């Protein structure tokens, strides 16, 4: 049962005579709060859509796969301008999407992502990367052709694992978003690797 189904079915279930009266009032109040939050979320989403329609930066960033309304508006609102970073790698590092480096002497060990910076943006990009990777897997299974970005993600997943590939792809998407935004060019999935490397 999904959240929407549960909220619509809740009043009928709460009215059941087996539900104690004291619990019924509390449950009805919770359902009312959930509906109010849902209405507020719809209002905020409509405001974000109006903002995105008026912002060339948000529209440009939304061309990148895995980056939708929330991620694009959050990126523009948080970063302000792509000129705050020298390149896409610096933006990805600022978001905590680059590997940690440890070592001494001549040994260098690359660990997991640093997780520094804006955790909300990082979470949005990782979720977006996960959806891009899943779409690439579906396309590969159904025999559809993959662009260079999707092929890169699939190759990486086969060499490592799903989570590492997702984080690496999130890093790549941050770099591509910076390049599309900073250079005012359209996204091209076949040009993305050279552009973001």
Asked if 180 contacts 64 with a C-beta cutoff of 8 angstroms, the reply is yes
Residues 109 and 145 in one domain: yes
Residues 70 and 46 in one domain: no
Question: What pLDDT is stored for residue 131 in this prediction?
Answer: 94
Instruction: Tell me the pTM.
Output: 0.78
> What tens digit of pLDDT does each residue of 107-150 get?
654 555 656 778 899 999 999 999 999 999 999 999 998 889 88
Q: At 148, list the tokens.
A: 């260079």
Task: Select from 54, 73, 95 the last residue of a domain.
Answer: 54
Question: What pLDDT is stored for residue 186 in this prediction?
Answer: 87
Contacts of 115 (CB under 8 A, 6+ apart): 96, 122
Task: Select from 30, 54, 78 the last residue of a domain.
Answer: 54
Residues 77 and 45 in one domain: no
Residues 11 and 91 in one domain: no
Contacts of 56 (CB under 8 A, 6+ apart): none
**Where are the alpha helices (H) located in 17-118, listed in sequence order?**
21-54, 56-61, 69-79, 88-94
Domain of residue 186, residue span: 57-196
Residues 181 and 105 in one domain: yes
Q: At 143, list the tokens.
A: 């025999």
Q: Tell me how many domains the chain contains.
A: 2
Using alpha carbons, list the distances in angstroms from residue 192 to 37, 49, 112, 147, 171. Answer: 38, 26, 23, 9, 13
Half-sphere exposure of 178 (CA within 13 A, CB side): 24
Q: At 134, list the tokens.
A: 């899943």
Contacts of 123 (CB under 8 A, 6+ apart): none
Residues 98 and 142 in one domain: yes
Residues 62 and 150 in one domain: yes
Task: Select from 54, 75, 93 the last residue of a domain.
Answer: 54
Residues 50 and 68 in one domain: no
Residues 40 and 74 in one domain: no
Residues 50 and 61 in one domain: no
Residues 89 and 165 in one domain: yes
Residues 46 and 73 in one domain: no
> What tens digit of pLDDT does each residue of 49-73 get?
999 999 999 999 999 999 999 999 9
């Amino acid at each position: 049962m999904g959240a929407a189904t549960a909220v619509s079915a809740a009043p009928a279930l709460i009215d059941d005579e087996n539900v104690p009266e004291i619990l019924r009032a509390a449950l009805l109040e919770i359902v009312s709060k959930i509906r109010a939050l849902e209405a507020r979320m719809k209002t905020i989403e409509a405001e974000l859509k109006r903002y995105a329609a008026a912002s060339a930066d948000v529209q440009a960033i939304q061309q990148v796969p895995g980056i939708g309304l929330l991620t694009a508006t959050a990126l523009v609102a948080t970063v302000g301008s792509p000129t705050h970073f020298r390149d896409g790698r610096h933006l990805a590092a600022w978001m905590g999407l680059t590997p940690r480096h440890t070592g001494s002497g001549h040994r260098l060990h690359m660990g997991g992502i640093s997780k520094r910076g804006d955790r909300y943006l990082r979470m949005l990009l990782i979720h977006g990367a996960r959806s891009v990777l899943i779409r690439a897997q579906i396309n590969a299974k159904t025999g559809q052709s993959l662009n260079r970005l999707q092929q890169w993600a699939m190759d990486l997943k086969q060499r490592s694992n799903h989570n590492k590939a997702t984080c690496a792809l999130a890093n790549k998407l941050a770099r591509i978003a910076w390049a599309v935004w900073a250079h005012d060019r359209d996204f091209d999935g076949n040009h993305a690797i050279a552009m973001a490397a």
